[in-house]
Structure 1
Amino acid sequence: MVIDRFTTPLYGIAEAARYLAVPPSTFTTWAFGYQRRRRDGRAIEGKPVITAARPDRPNEAAVPFIGLAEGFALAAFRQAGVPLQRIRPAIDALEEELGLAHALASRRLFTDGAEVLYDYAEHVGDESARELVVVRNNQRVFSDIVASYLRRVDFASDGYAQVITLPQYRTATVTVDAAHAFGRPRFTHGGAKLEDVIDLFQAGEPVDVVAEEFGLSRDEVEDALRVATRTAA
């Protein structure tokens, strides 16, 4: 199967949300937008901001790798404390000013995005976008939280995301890569799929046996179990 990073659905909504450590309801809003009715009866709509296709059945794959990468950037903005509804116009400005689709999954978000967002915030007086950017040495750069996320993305020759290092692991290095294992999380050390490691432990094998089986350290396995337990809670 040839995987197109932009169009091949790889992840269900709940699955993608779990990888990015955001609530499924939040990821659903990013993927499909929302429509709410105010107390005065007026409808409020928010359009989708990541690439996804509505699945025919629950838990069916709906999100391509690029959609996951776009969600990763939004997770960074969310971690910085800026609600999505307050930065939707800024995202539109990013795509318009950078002149390309999927700006949130582009290398240019990292290289040029901070300046675009800062200029946008100055132009419209939007404090929300300004919270994502700081000025250091007369340069406009992303805040530490956002920058720490974006540094975890590696880009292909086309300038779009290819590999994402997931942020919630402390000891293990776990990546998602559209070119390997159908985009499922893998340990950089040894290359084992995360789900295989978790499954073996859940089958009753001790941590040390799991670590030896997959060529991992005990700390790496325990780190993966910590994240899996927290996600399931």
Structure 2
Amino acid sequence: MRRKLRRLGLRAPRTAPERVAAAVIALVVVSWAAQGLRWVVTDGMPLLVVLAALGVVGVVTWWWLRRVGAAARRERLASLRLSLAQLDAMDDKQFEFALRDLLLRDGIEARQVGQQGDQAADVIGQDARWGRIVVQAKHTKVGGKVGSQVMYQVKGTAQPVHRADVAVVVTNGSFTRDAKAWGDKHGIHWVDREALRRWAEGGTALPDLLHLPRRGRLRAAA
């Protein structure tokens, strides 16, 4: 069932508000279906008319509940704080989704894209102010270091493959000195353990953490 939902671009409800919304939708659908059946059987209304009316009601209900759910999620994410201990306890995939949620918290539309063959992109954010932000997540054991090879990979794919305006590597560990120097020289941002603490736990938005210029300023400078 979950695979079928994913193929349709949907997923099963996970949080309590999503389950409530799903229950409300189900209740509305059942209620209107019963009413439609009465119209057909009792009032002799054409079936196609009833189905069209039910379809309109269903679409409007789905749209409204989706808006309500999105607003509730934004409100929940606005106060999101993740400690380094929580991030350390995650697996690679959970870490990617956590970084996605942090971007959403910062007001940046984001989606998790990491999978086998992702070409050095695990999360992609899009924002009119900062452009397209491509994030490579490197979840390590505490004390683990990310080397220059990762920077080479990101540099080779971020802009050519993913059309990145901003490329950043994020780890809960640290970077080697060469990796940081190479990243600074070639425009690959890096977020190490201490910077991640400021972003995830302290609440500093990623664009502020990286001192990103707004795209309008870049155009003006050009």
TM-score (norm 2): 0.28
* Higher helix fraction (1 or 2): 2
TM-score (norm 1): 0.27
Larger radius of gyration, structure 1 or 2?
2
